Amino acid sequence: MTKNSDRGGWRPPERDMSGAGSLLTEQRNPASVDIDTMSASDLVELINIEDATVAAAVARESEHIAAAVELVVERLRRGGRLIYVGAGTSGRLGVLDAAECPPTFGSDPKMIQGVIAGGYDALVRAKEGAEDERDAGRRDLSAREVGPDDVVIGIATSGGTPYVQGALEEAVRSGAGTAFLSCTPVENGSVPTDVTITVLTGPEVITGSTRMKAGTATKLVLNTITTASMVLLGKTYENLMVDLQATCEKLRDRGCRIVATTTGVGYEEAAAVITRAAGSVKAAIVMQKAGVDLDEANRLLAEARGFVRKALARRSRK
């Protein structure tokens, strides 16, 4: 017979959580009650049907997501940072979104950061108990010296993760901008924030498994926040990632194709222009389209706050 001590260190809850079953993310999905009798094809169909509802749930929060974008852009323009805080899947998605911004948008790695309960080891090995440590959330934010120029987005799909709540408390205390993303009604969170995003994805196919629909919704929201913020900060020209960091063959090729597409030159000439632009795709476009040298291209971009379209418009008015 298996002992209780063999079951992941089982012990009774240290606090009364009997009300947790009322959370939207903890409720049973009637469509999947008989999931353990389904065939592989039926399982795939069911999960796909449930996943198809996520985009609409995110769309219903568009106004609040836009408010979060405006908050982020305001703080980043001040030279501040965007810091995601989460536990488990939420924390991993925050770290992932932060990690993808520098190669895509050329942003400073310090500009957008992800903080996960249990530290970076929790990215590859679950540390579920770390989410219960409210004081650790406060300490981890305090260690980053968060201040009024920063914005902290807490991610807790079930609403009340103590680690995230502690981090948000520290963020509020420090005067940082704050937002909270959850997939259950906001009354389950206890820290007032500047923006609240509540994406009601409903009960999961596997009860309580928020790595599924709630996780998908989180990925969509975080992608939207950082992408929209980077666009508003001048990190794109048209729909092209002109501030990319060409750190691999794929991105070097993409940079050449971007310059060729936007200026009408051939691929080889585009590569040569980027070389003259010291590797800057942005500057290369301005140099080629405006017929200026690198110093002038950089001056125009600085005056236009990094926006290629505005830099070109300034040149054309002269």
The rounded distance, in Å, linking the Cα atoms of 196 and 189 is 10
Structure tokens at 301: 């971009």
**Of these residues, 26, 70, 74, 100, which one is catalytic?**
100
Which residues, listed in sequence order, are joined to residue 115 by a DSSP beta bridge?
85
Quote the CA–CA distance of 66 and 86 in Å, as a whole number.
Answer: 21
Place of tokens 């609040």: 64
Among residues 10, 13, 24, which one has the least CA distance to residue 160? 24
50, 61, 131, 204: the active-site residue: 131
- Look up 131 and say whether it is catalytic: yes
Rounded to whole angstroms, the Cα distance separating 251 from 297 reads: 22
Distances (CA, A) of 77 to 74, 114, 150: 5, 19, 10
Taking the C-alpha atoms of residue 21 and residue 17, their distance in angstroms, rounded to an integer, is: 8
> CB–CB of 249/255 below 8 Å?
no
Count CA atoms within 13 Å of residue 98 on its CB side. Answer: 23
Residues serving a catalytic function are 100, 131
